Amino acid sequence: MAGKKHSSLDKVLGRLDQLDEANLHNLVQRLVRERAMLEAVFNTLQEGVLVIDAAGVIEYANESAARLIGLTEPTAGETLWRLVPGLRDSLETGAADTPLVTREFELAYPSPRVVRLYMVPFGETGGDDRRHVIILSDITAEKKSTAELIENEKISSILLLAAGVAHELGNPLNSLTIHLQLIDRKMKKLKASKETRSLEDSIKICRDEVTRLDGIIKNFLEAIRPRPPNLTEVHLPEVIGEVLSFQAKELEDRGITVDGEPPPGTPVIMADRDQLKQVFFNLIKNAMEAMQPGGRLSLKVRTDDDSVYVAIADTGSGIKAEDLAKLFQPYHTTKVSGHGLGLMIVQRIMRDHGGHVGIESKDGVGTVVTLQFPQKHRRVRMLAGGN
């Protein structure tokens, strides 16, 4: 059986007691250089590398690990359990026969992220001197991509189903329209009387309802299958003003006050005007329905170097914490008569515009929806750079 290979450094260390002062000095210098080289190698890794003792005290952390877990001083002897609460029970490093461990967990500090942990015993595994090596990988982007893929597949299946249902509803509506027209023509050939006039009124009501249903189906299909945005220069305060003007009567009937003035010189964005109207219409409608008479709707516009933000706040009933995570899921609604597609449509339109939508809410206090749009120069840079 072949023996272990030994480096020249191992051989020198093996006869340490035979070295004079000069050779000891050279050895120390060599060890310092090798340590610095290993430190440089470990700090180039994207993965975080930790070494912890039996109590979870961090004996070593490379720069990536320090960034991931918010460790400002890797040599300060911090305890891993304090930095990542709840991990101790999961890893159970107190057991002498700790096997290889893999875990995925979420970190809220220093920034929200998902981390994959891989831990193996290191060196002696018995007694109080046992150590473990932990490899940390940031898989936030991977998880996000997977979640978006699942969401897109779910939405695609819903769209196919909705299109099929709309088509099936369209056929009988067309048939009803044709037969109502035939009945109407025959009625006109009959001698006018009180009974025929009553029937004509009923036929007109039926035709109007068929037309209304047909319009609902067409609008529904346009809503859940938004066309690619026709990007033109758009001034957001103008679009918001047009939507508020359209909804002014309903706002007045509900006794809701609207406030908020856009700052002067609000920059233009590249957007599809009609699709933006749909976004604001849906969000303002949601806010109205969440408030009692006397409520207040606030629309505030602000900007930074790259984006324009619109915050839509209401003083309504708010959203329960357990419902917040489900708001963008299709057919999830907290309304008795809601269809659960409004926010899904808003999110899709915002994504198509390179923007983001965020929601903050407190049950019984109100809700704030924040829309973030890239400014025109940022949009051009995004398209040119392909990111």
Question: What is the chain's mean pLDDT, rounded?
Answer: 76
User: By the 8 A CB rule, do 252 and 378 touch?
Assistant: no
* Domain 8-142 architecture: 2-Layer Sandwich (3.30)
Give the whole-angstrom CA distance, residue 43 versus residue 47. 9
Tens digits of residue pLDDT in 47-58: 888 888 878 888
pTM check: above 0.75: no
pLDDT at residue number 150: 67
CA distances from 10 to 13, 19, 28 (A): 5, 14, 13
- Specify the higher pLDDT residue, 146 or 254: 254
Give the whole-angstrom CA distance, residue 49 versus residue 71. 12
Tens digits of residue pLDDT in 324-372: 666 666 554 555 444 456 777 888 888 888 888 888 888 778 888 889 9
User: By the 8 A CB rule, do 297 and 258 touch?
Assistant: yes
pLDDT at residue number 359: 85
Average pLDDT over residues 168-188: 80
The token pair at 326 is: 């489900």
Phi, psi values for residue 373, rounded to 5°? -115, 135
Tens digits of residue pLDDT in 57-111: 888 888 888 888 877 665 557 888 777 766 776 565 444 455 567 777 777 666 7
pLDDT at residue number 262: 74
- Domain residue ranges in the chain: 8-142, 143-224, 232-385
Average pLDDT over residues 209-235: 74
CA distances from 330 to 210, 318, 339 (A): 27, 20, 8
Give the whole-angstrom CA distance, residue 174 versus residue 300. 45
Phi, psi values for residue 301, rounded to 5°? -115, 135
Q: Outline where DSSP puts E strands in 112-222.
A: 113-122, 131-138
pLDDT at residue number 201: 82
Q: Collapse the DSSP code of 123 into the 3-class scheme (helix H, G, I; strand E, B; otherwise coil) and give the result.
A: coil
Phi, psi values for residue 172, rounded to 5°? -65, -30
pLDDT at residue number 382: 46
User: By the 8 A CB rule, do 297 and 314 touch?
Assistant: yes
The token pair at 278 is: 């749909």
User: By the 8 A CB rule, do 43 and 63 touch?
Assistant: yes
Give the whole-angstrom CA distance, residue 251 versus residue 326. 27
pLDDT at residue number 383: 47
Phi, psi values for residue 34, rounded to 5°? -65, -40
Give the whole-angstrom CA distance, residue 381 versus residue 309. 19
Q: Collapse the DSSP code of 151 into the 3-class scheme (helix H, G, I; strand E, B; otherwise coil) and give the result.
A: helix
- Specify the higher pLDDT residue, 4 or 23: 23
Q: Collapse the DSSP code of 355 into the 3-class scheme (helix H, G, I; strand E, B; otherwise coil) and give the result.
A: coil
pLDDT at residue number 297: 92
- Residue 220 pLDDT greater than 70, yes or no: no
pLDDT at residue number 10: 61
CATH class, 143-224 region: mainly alpha
- Specify the higher pLDDT residue, 150 or 311: 311
Q: Outline where DSSP puts E strands in 235-293.
A: 257-259, 269-271
Phi, psi values for residue 206, rounded to 5°? -65, -45
pLDDT at residue number 61: 86
User: By the 8 A CB rule, do 365 and 313 touch?
Assistant: no
Confidence tier at 226 by pLDDT (50, 70, 90): low
CA distances from 205 to 181, 188, 202, 219 (A): 12, 16, 5, 21
Residue 44: burial class (beta carbons within 10 Å; 0-12, 13-18, 19+): exposed
User: By the 8 A CB rule, do 72 and 66 touch?
Assistant: yes
Tens digits of residue pLDDT in 279-327: 898 899 888 888 888 889 999 998 888 888 999 999 888 877 766 666 6
Stretch (H or E) spanning 245:
helix 236-246
pLDDT at residue number 327: 67
Q: Collapse the DSSP code of 162 into the 3-class scheme (helix H, G, I; strand E, B; otherwise coil) and give the result.
A: helix
Q: Which of 204, 368, 381 is nearest to 300 (CA)?
A: 368
Check residue 378 and give left, alpha or beta (phi > 0: left; psi -120 to 50: alpha).
Answer: alpha
Average pLDDT over residues 216-233: 72
Q: Outline where DSSP puts E strands in the chain.
A: 48-53, 58-61, 101-107, 113-122, 131-138, 232-234, 257-259, 269-271, 296-303, 307-314, 356-362, 366-374
Helix axes 273-290, 342-352, angle to 10 degrees: 150
* Domain at 232-385, CATH homologous superfamily: Histidine kinase-like ATPase, C-terminal domain (3.30.565.10)
- Residue 166 pLDDT greater than 80, yes or no: no
